[in-house]
Amino acid sequence: MKKINVLTIGNSFTDSLALYFPDAVASTGNEVNFQRANFGGCELHRHWSYIEAEINNEYCRIYQGGHKLSTILKETPWDYVTIQQASHCSWRPETFHPYADNIIEFIQSHCPNTEVLIQQTWSYHNDHPQFQPGSEWDIDQTEMYNRLTKNYTDLAKDYSFRVIPSGYAVQLARSEQPVKFTPYPLESLKEINWPNLPNASGTFVGKYFWKKNEEGKMTLASDLIHLNPRGQYLQACVWYGFLFGNPVSDIKLNPENLDNDDCEFMRKTAQKAIDNFPQA
């Protein structure tokens, strides 16, 4: 049995590991101490502002419900500390520096024997408003992926860091899965009546759901940026294989809400992503 200590300095794109990652590791006979210093939607510049505030005020404690990040870094012999950009900034190169550099220097000053890793995040669901004609971003799903990948790869090259290829695994799974997502006219969403939902076959990111509005009417809502359970399982597989250096096929976890054959496909895809993603 092998045990590792992992700390994420990130946002909801590492919070998504909580659903399956610890159980996936346990299913292999190994163990992980998985801790998070995350804030939802937190960009690199915001993390650095929190760190600066803690440095400049001895009573300031922002992380994990009242702890200094410096204390969190020093109190455990972390094998890995991960960083990443917030997804809405991930494709913009100007948002990475100098904040990533400052955070990296801060981590290394408090735990010099820890390996700092970069998680490559993923591109959004096809339906996201920023992928539609006339949007502010003026990019599509593939271009978002290509740009964010370049940004993470460039950062990794600057420091000779390794990249956890979560985003590549999602992109690979999208292209190689037996049943692929079929885009539909967004106008058709207006014709869907409660409790029906749009076809989610082939998706790893995003979900539609119903919620009640102030008038008590059920309205169709969406989350088009976070991993759904398939994506969360895929991410957990990538992190297990990458961090432990063991075959992803060691994972025996087949969650009740996921098809066993689909889990096998995602384990194979995770392994392929780990094996084929070009490291710095």
Give the three-state DSSP class for 90.
coil
pLDDT of residue 222: 96
CA distance 88 to 84: 12
Report residue 165 as tokens: 């290829």
Q: What is the mean pLDDT of residues 97-105?
A: 98
Taking the CB of residue 229, how many other CB atoms lie within 10 A of it? 15
CA 58 to chain centre: 32
Return the beta strands (E) in 114-197 as ranges. Answer: 115-119, 162-164
Has residue 74 got a pLDDT over 90? yes
pTM over 0.95? The answer is yes
Using omega within 30 degrees of 0 as the cis cutoff, is the peptide bond preceding 183 cis? Answer: no
Return the pLDDT at 207. Answer: 96
Map residue 227 onto helix, strand or coil: strand
Q: Compute CA distances 145 → 2, 107, 120, 235, whole Å.
A: 34, 27, 10, 16
Determine the pLDDT at residue 280.
77
